[in-house]
Amino acid sequence: MSYSTHFLHKSLNVVIDRPMGTKHPDKDFFYPVNYGYIKGIKAPDGEDLDAYVLGVFEPVHEFVGTCIAVIHRTDDEDDKPVVVPKDKNYTDDEIEALTEFQERFYESHIIR
């Protein structure tokens, strides 16, 4: 199992450093969702753990929500929690579609 599965069903505070609509600094894509990190929680790469925020349809700078899933990358050491507004849910297919813009570069699966 993934190191980040202990976040499942917990409330997480995500600092958004790549708001919806902004361009990736190194790759040729824009973020269709808010993307950020959980301050103080280190990922294996030594940086703060990144997270996707789904279900928020405007750019935000910070978000508190529930982790409904973790995207576990099998060819990269960093997992990505999927955080949504309270009482919101997405299917695995919906999560895959909403994160495909970035996850297409990796082999991954969704852990619930």
Find, among 8, 107, 18, the residue nearest to 96 by Cα: 107
Burial 69-85 (b: 16+ CB within 10 A, else e): bbbbbeeeebbbbbbbe
pLDDT at residue 3, rounded to an integer? 77
pLDDT at residue 4, rounded to an integer? 84
| Conformation bin of residue 87: beta by default, left when phi > 0, alpha when psi is -120 to 50 | left
pLDDT at residue 100, rounded to an integer? 96
Domain borders along the chain are: 5-111
pLDDT at residue 46, rounded to an integer? 93
pLDDT at residue 77, rounded to an integer? 86
Architecture of domain 5-111: Alpha-Beta Complex (3.90)
Residue ranges for the chain with pLDDT beneath 70: 1-2
